[in-house]
Amino acid sequence: MADPLPYTYTDIDWVSLRANSMNRKGWKSKGPKEWDGKAESFSKRNQDSVYSSLFLSHLPLKSSFTVLDIGSGPGTLAIPISARVKNVTAIDFSKGMLNTLKKIAAEKQINNIATVQCAWEDDWAIKGIKPHDIAIASRSMGVRNLPAALHKINNCAKKFVFISDRIGTTPFEKSAFTALGRSFEPGPDYIYTLNTLYTLGIYPNVSVLKLNRNTVYASMAEAVDSYSWMFRDITSKETILLDKYISSRIVSATDGKITVERDNPPCWALIWWEK
């Protein structure tokens, strides 16, 4: 009997490896109701963010283009994009996020953004979602069936696809978990997405969006609330430990605001390809 051939790249089952990593991750994915409750604060905290500016700087926007924003949240990207294109369709599984988006759009007198409440797993055809010139998915790739999601976004783009995915522990902070006495497994990041695309015959470009180590919060309460979002079922005792941890990371405090320094700057992978 002939010896089996040595393994090569094509023998790697990236779907199974990613599923294993998803099962080991030390954080819980948030559902629509949880995001509903964070819509207003998430919107305020992400307005004019460095991340948004970096992401937007890579988009080849034209006044004649249409853009599909998958996992749009409160319009962090959809709002500024709308000023530079024909129209935007923003989809999200959180009704609260979409209501916040519509509220901001009304205040700014923006009338070229359509919203659709749906998830990656829904039938987009039934929801009336059609191909757009550019399809984007910003920080919303934490799906179970990644190949199906990638097929969906690819089929909904006429010209370009842009997605961003986690690198390493981003957006979490490992030392914060240690301070609470919790172990931490980050779960799958962009490397699984990149290699899954390769197995699908899509060979994308990759850029790293590197953010600041320091984050400014309006108050200690806001900082604790933001950090608490990292944890599953945080207890009152852990909240006290978290308060102490954040206090140890404060590098400046002026006018009631505090600046908290992370161990490492959050980094996101911008993965994009031309159709």
**Domains in the chain, start-ordered, CATH in brackets?**
9-212+266-274 (3.40.50.150)
User: Using an 8 Å Cβ cutoff, are 258 and 163 in contact?
Assistant: no
pLDDT in tens, 160-179: 999 999 999 999 999 999 99
- Rounded Cα distance, 217 and 45, in Å: 9
Classify burial at 252, counting beta carbons within 10 Å of its beta carbon; exposed 0-12, middle 13-18, buried 19 or more. exposed
Query: What radius of gyration, in Å, describes the C-alpha atoms of the chain?
Result: 20
- Rounded Cα distance, 36 and 40, in Å: 9
Q: Print pLDDT tens along the chain (275 aa).
A: 566 767 888 889 999 999 999 988 866 666 666 654 565 655 565 566 899 999 999 999 999 999 999 999 999 999 999 999 999 999 999 999 999 999 999 999 999 999 999 999 999 999 999 999 999 999 999 999 999 999 999 999 999 999 999 999 999 999 999 999 998 888 999 999 999 999 999 999 999 999 999 999 999 999 999 899 888 889 999 999 999 999 999 999 998 899 999 989 999 999 999 99
**H helix or E strand, kind and range, residue 206:** strand 205-210
